[in-house]
Structure 1
């Protein structure tokens, strides 16, 4: 079982990440603001505080990656 094919696919996905990320800049900024707002001082981020924002970012990444793959 050769792992070279796995690494090739992984490298390709990582190479495309900046392009996909650029398409989701607004969603990433909104998620980042949510995380920053909920972690002021030494407060830790708690699960699901920014779930809605994370889902929007995840959906954007998924859709951008699908468009790029075509």
Structure 2
């Protein structure tokens, strides 16, 4: 049986990931800095501590995927 299956579609999306990630490098760096700053020492990352930064990263990825026409 040939054709497009879930594995093929997933592989195509994963192949685009580095390019999509590069479009959101600033947002990813900001989120990473927030996580690093809030988990210094023995502190644990708590839910919603970096929610604003995560939402910005999520929005950037969503827009990058939409711009590429990825399904």
TM-score, normalised to structure 2, is 0.90
Within the alignment, does 1:16 sit opposite 2:16 as a pair?
yes
Deviation, structure 1 residue 42: 1.7
The CA RMSD over aligned residues, in Å, is 1.3
2:54 aligned with 1:27: no
What is the CA-CA distance between 1:69 and the residue it aligns to? 1.5
Larger helix percent: 1
Alignment match, 2:69: 69
Q: Distance in 2 between matches of 1:68 and 1:26?
A: 19
Aligned length, in residue pairs? 67
Deviation at 1:49, TM superposition (A): 0.2
1:16-67 CA distances to partner (integer Å, 9 max, x unpaired)? 0000000000000000000000000121100000000000000000000111
Which runs of no fewer than 5 residues in structure 2 stay unpaired?
none
Measured in 2, the distance between the counterparts of 1:44 and 1:50 equals 12
